[in-house]
Structure 1
């Protein structure tokens, strides 16, 4: 019979500790609602005594969250425990999470006390907390650097005092998987009353072991995993819950565990956390990174077209992502080019695949990533049209004050030069409005990313943009020491792609009429 793994999310507590700002009550509520919708069992809402905002937010969440259990963190102090109770008492389903350091380095240098006094304090404070709730979790801070006999003593003391969940955190990300396995196994074999509690694990990623350690720990007998969405948290972060969830989901035939998570909400929740916390998701981040379901190699793309299981172990639709992406680069083969043409609705007898592929490779070597509208242009435009830069920059100037920016741009548009000005809320907005006036293209700027190639006075700015025109998305890139100029160049690159796309439609119309 499969065992359910309880998931405790600490994005709002441990995750927030990694931010350079505090989340507002409204932001925490938005994240908590997403976590609840995802099916998280326990949401650690914060550290109520740490700040008035944390206390207020915990009280608000206690009124709103109904399906997930709420949990508040407390030191081994009466005031901390009281604050958790008073912040969460409006909900019928809450937990008090108490912690105290147990390793020699913490006891001697931080707490400046003895191990026996630590045991006394743990017992007293857990009994004190029991007046408020029967659901008490105790965390042995720095458990993985605590001698095993001492750790067994702490755990037995905590359970005897009334703790129902015992957390064995790898607080500094020090332990290796096999060592963690042995710790959990020793606790199960040596602690007489271990069957009266749930063993939990809380892992950090300082050595890149957080997810592996958590998986190993449940194999040894742990029943609860603590982590955060996107793995945010102190230093190198926490165990990424979306990785744990999808590891158990994907390997369910091989593992004796399951979770109650609605996996289809993972991608949405990940994006919410990334946006609110202002922490971009690395492109190669497992499960939710933009490259997690992208394929560039021609061999991989050909295999995927024939059978997606050749190179994908899980379906992106399972996490709420609609599609797999084939990046068209010089590494792509004919199969990928034909696949993209098929997606756009072009039958193979309407274009020359060999000629298209040869021209595609030349463009990919020059440009890098190639897009569908580039393929259309290569397939149906004349060589002259494909080499034509219909729009080119002749002059630009942007002046800004604290309220508005005004942009003046002179563009070569085919054989005609046009000059226009417009005001906007910021330089990019003013440039965007001016270009619309010049071209009469009804474009919409949907993404703008600025990157610095280095951090010196001579650094070159890189601007990546996405523009929507009619039903298509066009990508543009611009480089310059002047980021405003780089922005203009990026938009003009998009304009030329739009112009070539329009030429394609004209040429296809001629072909159909002939």
Structure 2
């Protein structure tokens, strides 16, 4: 800001935009992916134990990796990248611990990766000996920046490097008798590589491998750095899908990162465009801004009625294991799995959720359609108790929902309004949040008679009306207070109150004004009398009268 409060122009930040170049669109005018809809999941491949692990400040030890691995198997992954065996001894040891365990499910494919250098490919393949099924990925960077800065090589030399790695991978496949080895090639930095050159390199590798129907060969296209919007990624994947050699027998895979914050959208677009497999991590851990989150992708499908092929019915347990192994917390607003993603504080939202849930109670077989809740939280192991929490943004609907769901008490509409104002006054003084136990405490202090207290009147007929009881309480039948609303309902015992019959009564006085009172007693007559007395004592009056 300038001294006079104006907006400063020509700042260093604005001037720095000149150093960046926009991406060049592929301009795929006949794209078809926008007209498609996801109806089945892709093959999910977790790279938590390699790509995710290498991004951790303190990488996992073997015990943590094994715990994470067991989680991945348990929730249904069929492909898991388990390491970069030539990068460090820890990765080698972990791969060998799995290779020699003899306990791998038959359907499981374990993946390792190697730079496209023959000696490293051979050494990597050795780590897989003993596994029934495995995936060997060879890769080399192909982008102009990598060619210029890292390799100082032209396109032909980069392609030759890829073919050298492809040849080494074929020799490794022949060497690993007893292991069904899938071959996978990745042009690293695909998103920053000229599309026609990426295709040229991939097709050259495929011509070297010449896959047949019985081979398992993949091309993996990594958004090593997310460099453009998801729609452009979709166009480039569809273009590769159309022009890739041996397409009918080659699995097309993507490996999105999240540098622009759109990794999930990019992955979904890629699958629409022809990708059959997605590599990512649980909750999006990974280098820089992370890998694409496979939890989000799977739950997005689930919310559309598509079985994602992963069992996320106890998503909080999945999150706890991931947090423990990564030593990194999942943000509370992370889609589908964060602590607060099914919680509403806003009053209008709370009211709509409460009404939606009550409607569903009447017909639980109808399709899920509750306002502000994309799925039923119980499907991922949550209950309804944390759906609505009360702060100074909340309204009567949310407070009434908590009183009903946590304390079994249905508040009349006018009492909802009155109690909401009382809660708001409390929050204006204290700030923060009102828990369910505190909510009951406020309610009791505001409205309830002391439970089990002395009978308020000595002799009232059992068939007395509320107004007759009020006349007896005031000792006068001349302009006595009147009861305008009264409800009696059973309540069960909770940590906050005992079981009994709860009476809620609205009492209006002849001197003007009215007030709510309540009581929980063992009998209806006692509850009614005590509630009327509690309300009478709260009625504002201009002329003091003993009660």
Cα contact 1:36–1:65 (8 A) shared by 2: no
DSSP-derived class of the 2:184 partner: strand
What 5-or-longer segments of structure 1 have no aligned partner? 386-470, 473-500
Deviation track 1:400-441 (CA, whole Å, cap 9, x = no partner) reads xxxxxxxxxxxxxxxxxxxxxxxxxxxxxxxxxxxxxxxxxx
The aligned counterpart of 1:26 is: 63
Q: 1:347 to 1:273 in 2, by over 3 A?
A: closer
After TM superposition, list the pairs within 5 Å mapping 1:273-284 onto structure 2.
Answer: 273-284=322-333
Cα contact 2:59–2:326 (8 A) shared by 1: no
Q: Distance in 2 between matches of 1:170 and 1:106?
A: 14
Cα contact 2:348–2:397 (8 A) shared by 1: no
Cα contact 1:10–1:44 (8 A) shared by 2: yes
Q: 1:360 to 1:382 in 2, by over 3 A?
A: closer
Pair 1:11 & 2:30 matched = no
The aligned counterpart of 1:42 is: 79
Deviation track 1:74-125 (CA, whole Å, cap 9, x = no partner) reads 1112333233322222220111111100111111211222221222222232
Q: 1:19 to 1:371 in 2, by over 3 A?
A: same
Shift in Å, 1:60: 1.7
Q: Distance in 1 between matches of 2:276 and 2:411?
A: 59
For the pair shown, which has the larger CA radius of gyration, 1 or 2? 2
What 5-or-longer segments of structure 2 have no aligned partner? 1-37, 174-180, 212-216, 358-369, 450-493, 503-518, 527-547
Q: 1:512 to 1:252 in 2, by over 3 A?
A: closer
Pair 1:330 & 2:367 matched = no
Q: Distance in 1 between matches of 2:395 and 2:168?
A: 68
Shift in Å, 1:352: 5.3
The two structures have a TM-score, normalised by structure 1, of 0.71
The aligned counterpart of 2:269 is: 216
Q: Distance in 2 between matches of 1:187 and 1:61?
A: 35
Q: Distance in 2 between matches of 1:73 and 1:178?
A: 29
The aligned counterpart of 2:360 is: none
Pair 1:245 & 2:298 matched = yes
Cα contact 1:159–1:193 (8 A) shared by 2: yes
Cα contact 2:203–2:244 (8 A) shared by 1: yes
The size of the alignment, in residue pairs, is 396
Shift in Å, 1:336: 1.8
Q: Distance in 2 between matches of 1:46 and 1:192?
A: 29
Pair 1:233 & 2:296 matched = no
Cα contact 2:125–2:136 (8 A) shared by 1: yes
Deviation track 1:345-402 (CA, whole Å, cap 9, x = no partner) reads 44347995454322211122223210111111112236999xxxxxxxxxxxxxxxxx
Among 398, 422, 430, the alignment partner of 1:359 is 422
Q: Distance in 1 between matches of 2:269 and 2:132?
A: 33
Pair 1:103 & 2:143 matched = yes
Q: 1:230 to 1:197 in 2, by over 3 A?
A: same
Among 398, 415, 434, the alignment partner of 1:370 is 434
Q: 1:381 to 1:65 in 2, by over 3 A?
A: farther
- RMSD (Å), alpha carbons: 2.8
Q: Distance in 2 between matches of 1:216 and 1:352?
A: 50
After TM superposition, list the pairs within 5 Å mapping 1:433-444 onto structure 2.
Answer: none
Cα contact 2:259–2:290 (8 A) shared by 1: yes
Higher strand proportion (structure 1 or 2) = 1
The aligned counterpart of 1:512 is: 521
Shift in Å, 1:268: 2.2
Cα contact 2:347–2:393 (8 A) shared by 1: yes
